[in-house]
Amino acid sequence: MGYIPSLQEYLSNAWISSSGPVILLHSYFATMHEVADDIDNFLHTYEDLIYNVSLVIRLCNDLATSVAEKERGDAASAILCYMNQMGASEEEARKHIHNTINNAWKRINGHCFTQDASVEPFLTQAQNAARVAHTLYLNGDGFGIQDRDIKKHILSLLVEPL
């Protein structure tokens, strides 16, 4: 493996590559019945929310896929960046990443409980995007390697009645 960035340098790019910003932009258009004339202002207002949702998506992915990616020689993950930067063990790095995810969730929830009701559908979609990441990557790479657990979650959501 070549260059390994610092964790901060990695995260400054990784949150964007998580697809979180694209997912949330689509959610905005799907949930806002009256699209604001100044979408740039809207997105700037919720920049921290978008960042933290994207961070949860990326870091959940990194926790679940880092071992396989390291074996394949793929690009660095947050875990590898932290280990390299801090001289930490993998266990310490995973704990740090879990704490970072928890802090991101606190910021996400803070946005969702302090905003006006007119944007509630967008905020719900933002929370749900982060929840999906947790579900997909809870027991490993549920996106790249679908297993019975993911199938069970999808069936319970879409097929089986409540």
20-57 confidence digits (pLDDT tens): 888 888 877 777 666 666 677 777 888 899 999 999 99
Rg for the chain (alpha carbons), in Å?
17
For the chain, give the number of residues: 162
CA 10 from chain centre, in angstroms, equals 14
Please write the tens of the pLDDT for every residue from 139-149: 655 554 555 56
For the domain spanning 7-158, the CATH number is 1.10.600.10
Domain ranges of the chain: 7-158
pTM over 0.85: no
Residues 14 and 102: their CA atoms lie apart, in Å, by 17
